Amino acid sequence: MDKKIIKLSLVIVVITSFIYCSPVKTTMTGGSYDIIADTFSFISSPQGSAGGDFFLTDTGGEFFATTTASGDYQLMAGFQSATRDQLSLTLDNASLSLGQLSLSAVSTDSITATVSASDSGYTLSITEDGDLRSGANTINDVADGTVTAGSEEYGIKTSGIDGLLSNDTAISGTINVASSLTSASNIDTTVQFSASISTNSIQGSYSHQVSFTLVENP
């Protein structure tokens, strides 16, 4: 029997959605400064807060920028420094090639996504523009969790501390590939693309586009 060979390629398109879910507040700007977490408040009557060995008397407004400490507390009055929300996504490659596929092996290639996000964490997802295809012919999505040589299957899985896909998974709709509920600083998630063919697979050059979207958690 002749060895069946199918050439497949993947084109990766990156889409990043920078959606910040910070509390509503006003940012004050003037010349060379930005105050991104400004507040201005008043109270209608004297109030106080007690706890342990201290009693804190409330004040109306934040007119004096000073720090007062005593015992086990510290009061930082006035405008304080704050970190602006951050969200970034980089990929180590913009295109992948699975090369020539044969009946005896699974072809793989991978891309690493590096994410940084603020305290609320992030979700990284992937979508596709359609099945892996050559004209009207397509490669079947994996359905059993493992892309296997000799079967026509295509899917992805992830590795890394924030990765969500331990088994080969079909790209159907929007698939979350990584997430975190806390801040992230240059966290890598590797997404592995795998494909295999069967004796019924039709020869051709197969491709499709996938998009990565990064969103800050609310």
- Say which CATH topology domain 6-22+85-216 has: Immunoglobulin-like (2.60.40)
Class of residue 135 by CB neighbours under 10 A (exposed 0-12, middle 13-18, buried 19+):
exposed
DSSP string across 133-158: EETTEEPPBP-SS---TTS-EEEEEE
What pTM does this model have?
0.70
Comparing CA positions, the residue from 90, 163, 169 lying closest to residue 128 is 169
Do 161 and 187 meet the contact criterion of CB atoms below 8 Å apart?
Answer: yes
Do 187 and 160 meet the contact criterion of CB atoms below 8 Å apart?
Answer: yes
Over the stretch 126-166, which tens digit does the pLDDT of each residue have? 999 999 998 999 999 999 999 999 999 999 999 999 999 99
Over the stretch 51-91, which tens digit does the pLDDT of each residue have? 666 655 555 555 555 667 776 776 666 555 555 567 899 99
**Sequence spans of domains, the chain:** 6-22+85-216, 28-77
Cα pseudo-dihedral 111, 153, 212, 205, rounded to 10: 80
Class of residue 200 by CB neighbours under 10 A (exposed 0-12, middle 13-18, buried 19+):
exposed
- Per the document, the length of the chain is 218
Q: How much is the pLDDT for 56?
A: 57
Structure tokens at 133: 């295809």
Q: In the Cβ-directed half-sphere of 185, how many Cα atoms lie within 13 Å? A: 1
**Residues 1-24, mean pLDDT to the nearest whole number:** 53
Question: In one letter, which amino acid is 34?
Answer: D
Could you tell me the pLDDT band of residue 1, with boundaries at 50, 70 and 90?
Answer: very low
